[in-house]
Amino acid sequence: MPLSKRAAPALLTDQVYDTIHEAILSGELPAGSRLTVRELAEQVGTSAMPVREAIRRLEEAGIVEREPHKGAVVKALTLEELLHVYNIRRLLEVEAARLGSRHITREDCDRMQAEYDLMRHAITEHQVIPILDHDENLLEILYTAAGNPLLVQMIRNLWRQCRAYKIVGAQGTLDTAGDESLWRYQRDLIDAARDGDSLKAASVNDSSLVDATDRIKALLAAQRDHS
């Protein structure tokens, strides 16, 4: 059998996985949503098999979990997971910012600035997902300059795992008048990168992640109190 035909089912599963994963990251399928194989298969236009396999992979990635009497659901947001993920992010991203700012080029700083400008526009338009996308693009430029692809890959994986928390944080910050935390740290990080100031870059990133953790904790607590 030709390889292309043997690979086709796996490629279809990849497409279904990407579709469901994006719906979770965008908030279209929020925490607690049930993932019913038949319904999802109808929505994406496939048989049940690739949907079932995609859900299994989402479970392995820690994005989906099994609940009694419900089956597969989008994993709920918890304070414990928030602290675990953001503490690891601090360890990795503070170091990535420190190393990246030592080696980043002027052209890469200009690329960071372009992503920052797009992010500020998205903030003005209250577009949560573009805000997060441009923020991550900006940071990835800096982190890539550190010259450690494995470090960048690990950070990307953490971003995917905590995207739901980031959505909560960004939306809550947008709803708070006068809060500059969605853009102030990025501005200071670009300045540090242009100056090659590794200590400042590390400090800015650390402060940014501590602030994000505190904001999301407060927002999760408020949601819990109103539920």
- Count of domains in the chain? 2
- 139 and 152 fall within a common domain: yes
| pLDDT value of residue 5 | 38
Compute CA distances 90 → 30, 61, 182, 190, 212, whole Å: 25, 21, 17, 18, 11
**164-202 pLDDT per residue, tens:** 889 889 989 998 877 899 999 999 999 999 999 999 999
| pLDDT value of residue 54 | 92
Q: How is residue 28 annotated by DSSP?
A: S
- 127 and 189 fall within a common domain: yes
Mean pLDDT calculated for residue range 51-55: 93
Compute CA distances 191 → 119, 136, 175, 194, 198, whole Å: 16, 17, 27, 5, 11
- 90 and 9 fall within a common domain: no
Q: What is the three-class DSSP state of 224?
A: helix
The CATH number of whichever domain residue 35 belongs to comes to: 1.10.10.10
CA dist., res. 167 & res. 132, Å (int): 8
- 138 and 176 fall within a common domain: yes
Are 145 and 192 spatial neighbours (Cβ–Cβ below 8 Å)? no
The CATH number of whichever domain residue 155 belongs to comes to: 1.20.120.530
- 69 and 148 fall within a common domain: no
- 54 and 100 fall within a common domain: no
Domain span at residue 31 reads: 3-74
Q: What is the three-class DSSP state of 73?
A: strand
Chosen domain end from 45, 74, 103: 74
pTM: 0.78
Instruction: Give the H or E element holding residue 64.
Output: strand 64-67
Mean pLDDT calculated for residue range 87-106: 98
- 125 and 203 fall within a common domain: yes
Q: How is residue 34 annotated by DSSP?
A: B
